[in-house]
Amino acid sequence: MPQHYYLLDTLVIIIIIIINIIFRFEDDIEYMIGSRPGWYWKITWRYVAPILVFGILIASIVNMGVKPIVYSAWHPELVSTSTFKLLFAGLR
């Protein structure tokens, strides 16, 4: 089976899971407050939030491709064996 079919199947499964979670979430809200959520909340949970999360995911992936991942608090040249000895001494 070609590789793109696996991607398509995975996307379909993810979409089905998200739809089920949204409807179950609306049922939970109804159980908690006694009424179904209004149209504003349904639109926000079904469309706006997933689009924003997907956009943030894509932007993060692009950002990782453009800039290398760095951790500014980590300086490998300053780390010595004594640091690791102190670390592991505390774990005993």
Q: pLDDT (tens digit, 0 to 9) for every residue of the chain, 92 residues total?
A: 556 667 778 888 888 888 788 788 888 889 999 998 899 988 888 889 888 988 998 888 888 888 877 766 766 666 666 677 777 777 66
- Cβ pair 26, 36 in contact under 8 A: yes
Give the pLDDT score at 11: 81
Domains in the chain, number: 1
∠ Cα 82 85 88 (to 5°):
150
| Residues spanned by the domain of 26 | 3-90
Model-level pTM? Answer: 0.52
Q: What is the pLDDT of residue 40?
A: 94
